[in-house]
Structure 1
Amino acid sequence: MKTKLLFLLLFVNLINAQTRYLEVKIKDKESNDDIKSATIIEDSINSSLFTFLEEEKVTYGFKYNHHRLLESKITSEGLKRKYKSIIGSIVNNNKVRLLETNNKNTKYASILFDFDTEISEETEYSFKLNPYDYYLQTYSHEDKCYMFTYNSQTNKLCKWTFLLDGSYKKDFYDLKDNYSWVNNNSKNHFKEEFQKVNNKLPNNLIVTSKEYKMYELKDGFIWTLDDNIDYTLIIEFKAPEFDPIFTKIFQTKQELNPKTSNSYLFDDKIAQITSNNSYLNFEIKDFESKNVIKSFSITKDETIDFKNGPILQEGSVYSFGNTRELEKTSKFLRKISKENNGVSVYPQNGNYRVTIGGIVELSGGGGMMMPGFGAFPMYQVGGFTMSFNPAGFAFGSYSSTGSTRIECLFDSEFNHLDGEIKDNVFDKITKYKDRMSNLKADNVYFLNNKVLFGFYKPYYKSYELVLFE
């Protein structure tokens, strides 16, 4: 009895140490099944908050107003089990439609939650993507959800517009006739899913080393493709038409052969790196003008004077999944040249925390190597597409990078700063989580520029959202 009381007091103290943002109570929950996943959606127009808690065969939906007061709820049997990957949402007033797909991204369905009538309605779409169609990504905006696919036979990009009533339409963009961005140095564009990146959060190299990335904006989004060693291909989609606009940001000319390259968007800037086993070049450029703001380069015989701390290698077969330190720059360059290189820039306390390095990807697209987990698919954890919630994936992969990397600290003008790098918001959530036990459906969400950590408490039949600054 004393042990239970002590645990309860500890739990209360932990909650009180952070700001409780919302507690979702499932008062009509009859089964003993745990909640296995949670989806949080915000209506950007009126700041309503929709929370969907899913157990094995039942989905509980809740609508909260902008004061976070419960207005209505729905209990639904949900979609068929083959549709368990949420890829998009459509919100209008008291209705939410979730767009879902199967594990292969070939068949699609949606479910409408009507919080006025407190009923749900399922729609299974008759279309199916063929082997020449590639699912790329979705973008939810106001009362529509846009899905993009690419057909390798016709070389056409297809924009699917899904509406709240369950209908959809298609628009095509003929890339072959209208764009001349493909050259012999490029790989096969548009044949893999774009990784969504929230650049307001910490992102490790598992996320940023991807060659195909997507950055969501308030009124549009940007795709970046780094499968060409000479430039980053930028494709901008702006509301309301969301037609693709193609530009290139070239890497600074270097005599690197062979070499690998990558980029990362943040604020109004772009970071680009090129490297091989004897040289690395790292630059910060203004995104609009493409002018170089700051440039750093190292050779294998030089020390890295802009890093804060040692060269780290995680997940090595030689270190049995632990972290070890590398002494020589030549080893660092040799390691990341054999891997997918990447860079991550995170604004922190008026400065910038930068991670540079590489990460091993399994052949055949099996996923990234993560210590203790083997192949970790970039796009999926459990039954849900993590790209729908890039904050959740960024946090889930944050502590297990399987990378070779350096950490750096710069001021607002990208002058190197000495000193120890302080904890970021993910470090704080990790410490908070490590002091708790038996968490269910825990995840991280980024809503209205707020970072929330959510978890299910089986004893109380409630889902807790805690705010982290």
Structure 2
Amino acid sequence: MKQIFLFLSLLFSTVLLSQTVLTSYAIDLKNKKERSDILNVENTATHDIFVFLASDSLSILKYNSALFLKQKVVTSRKFTEGKSLIGCSFSEDGNPTLYWFSPIEKNIVLIKYYLETNTNRALKFQIPLDEKSVLTYYQKDNNFYLLMKDHAKQGLTAFIFKNGIAEEKYLDFSPFVFRDRKTQQKSFNQILMENPIEKMDSGEYNPLFKVTSKSKLYTLPNRLILTLDQSLRKTQLFDINLDNLEIKEKTFLQPSTQKNAKKSNSYYHENKLYQISVNAEQLALDIKDYESGESLKTFSVSKKDTIQFKNSPLLMQINDKKPRELKNTGKFLQELATTDVGISVFKNKQNLLLTLGGTGMQSKSIAAPFGMMSDFYEDFIPPSYYGIDTYYSVFFESVWTKKLQTTNQSQEPLAGDKIYAFLDHHKTVLLPKVLKLSNYSILGYYDFDSKEYVLRKFTDGFN
């Protein structure tokens, strides 16, 4: 979706970039932008919005749901110098706890800020980085989660921070069998080494470059969904209960093609699994019910067919250049089969929005011009070569009803598309952070010219 908007913005920028400044806060980060951290968070219990601005000092701005400033606290950076602000949680009393990470010291400093008295309490949590590596961290339901992979044991460790207490939970994957693309048995750690986990942002549009990952993690309340698509034949899915540590394995066969599939992948969305299989002559899409495994919708498209469920042209984009249209399905499938394929599913108020395609990279060595070889004339060496990486994607978009009926509607831009274009057009914007709320998104950023921290509202659709 972001790719198409780069093209549409040339024609409709005055419409698509429409947005509203919600509030601004004067602050001068001076020459310490590279050492500054910013975090925007919603307290999901009270719907208050918090902004944390960390530079020489820490400014805590508390807004209500209408973005009126309720409280401001400025405090010192004691205990957090040289540390990165990675997350936040909220206690039942409504006060925030911030998480400051230091890879050198191998710890996280937790500081709870009592806004009523402008006091705080700090704790240190030692991260076992000698035995584990960090996979991801995220905030969910006012808690903070740190997920790590064991170096020796075949499993994951989740640290759940709630009300100032860290609870450690080990997720054991040693009882399960894993096979690679060539059906050779591998350990859980070997599979993740070859196919690193990509976390999907819940409730948001996940772009094509993320969904082409073969290992995807979906974060749900007290629950994780891990999908593995290293095999061409099936999706191996694990439903993880963070309360009782139960792990349930489910297997979903990939949709078949007349000739062997060259690429395949899947995407989990609201109790359904969307699966695609691709070769240069055919594309197969299957939507299965998560509980029963039953196919709810199946499509098969050959190179001579027209893709009936597409709502956009068949497009190819190289780097950040304007996308160009591919002339037919055959050409699209030929290009798609050379990429890492994926499908993304996003639900807005009206519809389901699907992006189906793939991403790839080509590297070329090009002779360097004489001006780039300072020692050429002294040593009489032959021309040097340098590598150029070219990133490309092929894709189309589809608009469905929430009952999985295809439509003829045009894809409207998402708030994320507008935010991307806004950032692309405003070079003085620094330290951008996006906060997704139920009805709109907030872009927070530091404006270098005005020396303000600004919150802007972006909505889906044409304004």
Normalising by the residue count of structure 1, what TM-score does the alignment of the two structures yield?
A: 0.74
Q: 1:252 aligns with which of 232, 251, 255?
A: 255
| RMSD between aligned residues | 3.7
Partner of 2:336 in structure 1? 336
- For 2:108, the equivalent position in structure 1 comes to 109
Identify the match of residue 300 of structure 1 among 303, 310, 315. Answer: 303
Contact map agreement 1:344 1:356 (CA 8 A) in 2: yes
- C-alpha displacement at 1:273, in angstroms? 0.5
8 Å CA contact 1:137–1:193 kept in 2: the answer is: no
Aligned pair partner of 2:265 in 242, 262, 268: 262
Name the residue aligned to 1:283. 286
Q: Shift of residue 288 of structure 1?
A: 2.4
Instruction: Measure the CA separation in 2 of the matches of 1:49 and 1:466.
Output: 13
Partner of residue 77, structure 1: 77
The within-5 A match list for 1:102-251 is: 107-116=106-115, 117-119=117-119, 123-130=123-130, 133-141=132-140, 144-165=143-164, 168-177=166-175, 179-180=176-177, 184=183, 188-191=190-193, 194-198=197-201, 200-238=203-241, 240-241=243-244, 243-251=246-254
Distance (Å, rounded) in 2 between the aligned partners of 1:293 and 1:254: 18
Q: Tell me what 2:394 maps to.
A: 404
Quick one: distance in 2 between partners of 1:103 and 1:299? 50
CA distance in 1, matches of 2:149, 2:33: 38
CA distance in 2: counterparts of 1:25 and 1:314, whole angstroms: 40
Shift in Å, 1:227: 1.9
For 1:211 and 1:343, locate their aligned partners in 2 and report how far apart those are by CA, in whole Å: 11
Structure of greater Rg: 2
Provide closer, same or farther for how the CA distance between residues 30 and 449 of structure 1 changes in structure 2, counting only shifts above 3 A.
closer
With over 3 angstroms needed to count, the CA separation of the structure-2 counterparts of 1:263 and 1:78, relative to structure 1, is farther
Partner AA of 2:354 in structure 1? V
Q: CA deviation at 1:423?
A: 2.3
- What is the deviation of 1:109? 1.4
Report SS of the residue matched to 2:192: coil
The alpha-carbon deviation at position 314 of structure 1 amounts to 1.4
Q: Is the 8 A contact 2:137 2:144 kept in 1?
A: yes
SS at match of 2:358: strand
Q: Report matched runs for 1:9-88 at 5 Å.
A: 18-26=19-27, 31=30, 33-34=32-33, 37-55=37-55, 57-65=56-64, 68-77=68-77, 83-84=83-84, 86=86, 88=87
1:149 aligned partner, one-letter code: M
Counterpart contact for 2:233–2:253, Cα < 8 Å: yes
Assess if the C-alpha contact under 8 Å between 2:232 and 2:261 holds in 1.
Answer: no
Match of 1:345 in 2: 345
Offset of residue 125 of structure 1: 4.0
Mapped contact 2:222–2:241 kept (Cα < 8 A):
yes
Residue type of the alignment partner of 2:24? E
AA of the residue aligned to 1:410: W
Contact 2:264 2:277 in 1 (8 A): yes
Q: Distance in 1 between matches of 2:133 and 2:153?
A: 12
- Partner residue, 2:376: none
Q: C-alpha distance in 2, partners of 1:343/1:449?
A: 24
Q: Is the 8 A contact 1:308 1:408 kept in 2?
A: yes
SS for the counterpart of 2:47 is coil
CA shift for structure 1 position 22: 4.1
In structure 2, how many angstroms separate the alpha carbons of the residues matched to 1:161 and 1:412? 33
Deviations 1:303-337 (A, max 9, x none): 33332343211126xxx955333224333223222
Give, in angstroms, the shift of residue 224 of structure 1.
2.1
Structure 2: gaps spanning 5 or more residues: 1-13, 364-387
The structural deviation recorded for 1:169 is: 4.6
Cα displacement (A) at 1:61: 2.4
The alignment partner of 1:237 has SS state of strand
Matched to 1:441, the amino acid is L
Closer, same or farther in 2 for the Cα pair 1:125/1:424, shift >3 Å?
Answer: closer
**Does 1:443 find its partner at 2:444?**
no
Quick one: distance in 1 between partners of 2:29 and 2:52?
17
| 1:127 CA displacement | 4.1
Contact 1:351 1:409 in 2 (8 A): yes
Q: In the alignment, residue 427 of structure 1 is paired with which amino acid?
A: D
| Most deviating of 136-145 and 220-229 | 136-145
1:258 CA drift (Å): 5.1
Structure 1 residue 133 displacement after superposition: 3.2
Residues 101 and 257 of structure 1: is their aligned pair in 2 closer, same or farther, counting only changes over 3 Å?
farther
Contact 1:150/1:190, CA 8 A, preserved across alignment: no
User: How far off is 1:219 after superposition?
Assistant: 4.2
Instruction: Output the TM-score relative to the length of structure 2.
Output: 0.75
Q: Secondary structure at the match of 1:207?
A: helix
Letter of the aligned partner of 2:191 in structure 1? H
Q: CA deviation at 1:119?
A: 4.4
State the AA in 1 paired with 2:238.
I
- Structure 1 regions of 5+ residues with no counterpart? 1-12, 364-373, 377-400
- AA paired with 1:137? T
- Secondary structure (helix, strand or coil) at the match of 2:443 reads strand
Shift of 1:180: 4.2
* Residue equivalent to 2:442: 452
- Structure 1 residues 198 and 125, CA gap change in structure 2 (3 angstroms): closer
| Deviation for aligned residue 1:66 | 5.1
Q: 1:424 to 1:356 in 2, by over 3 A?
A: same
User: Are the counterparts in 1 of residues 171 and 245 from structure 2 also a CA contact under 8 Å?
Assistant: no
Letter in 2 for 1:189: I
SS at match of 1:402: strand
Structure-2 change in CA distance of 1:114 and 1:100 (3 Å)? closer
1:314 aligns with 2:317: yes
CA distance in 1, matches of 2:29, 2:327: 58
2:413 matches 1:423: yes
Per-residue CA deviations over 1:337-363 (Å, capped at 9, x if unaligned) read 222100112335633332111112689
Number of residues of Structure 1 aligned to a counterpart in Structure 2:
411
Change (3 A) 1:180 1:218: same
